[in-house]
Amino acid sequence: MHGEIYVLYNGRIAARGTYEPVQPRALSIMEVFVQSLMRKNVTGSLYRIWVRALIHKMDIHVTDIPPEYKDLQSDMEFNADDMKRLYEFGYNRSVNGQAWWTQPAVENYQELIEKINPSNVIEGMEARPEFRRREMSRPTE
């Protein structure tokens, strides 16, 4: 029996490595800190799911909200119109075969060791255009 795991991340994996100036206020700094902490938690969870799938010889499929979706709201307020637009965007990507990034199951132990190396995993994810790091912009002094 060949298993599969599907991971739907309700956010942007590509947000990793971006830089935006923070207001020098405690609340602003805390907000960015919590966002970074949450992103690290998601990355760690994705990696653990990835490794489990590979160990158990399962395919893993990952999808997120890609950077080309420009209407992503950063606030936590639910907006039915925004959700409908996001759903239609995701549905169209799925119909066109663009929704999933897939890692097939490994065949042997050596391939498993190569695949679970974190730097190989990150490089593989970032090779996909949606997962590439955006260039870091620094404020001019």
pLDDT digit string, tens, across residues 40-52: 888 888 888 888 8
The residue type found at 22 is V
Is residue 124 situated within a structural domain? yes
Is residue 136 situated within a structural domain? no
Please tell me the total count of domains within the chain: 1
Is residue 95 situated within a structural domain? yes
Q: What percent of the chain has pLDDT over 70?
A: 75
Res. 17 pLDDT band, cuts 50 70 90? low
Is residue 138 situated within a structural domain? no
Is residue 137 situated within a structural domain? no
**Predicted pLDDT at 130:** 47
**31 lies in which domain range?**
4-131
Res. 18 pLDDT band, cuts 50 70 90? low
Overall pTM > 0.85? no
CA distance 36 to 42: 10
pLDDT digit string, tens, across residues 101-113: 888 888 887 887 7
CB–CB of 93/45 below 8 Å? no
Is residue 49 situated within a structural domain? yes
Is residue 67 situated within a structural domain? yes
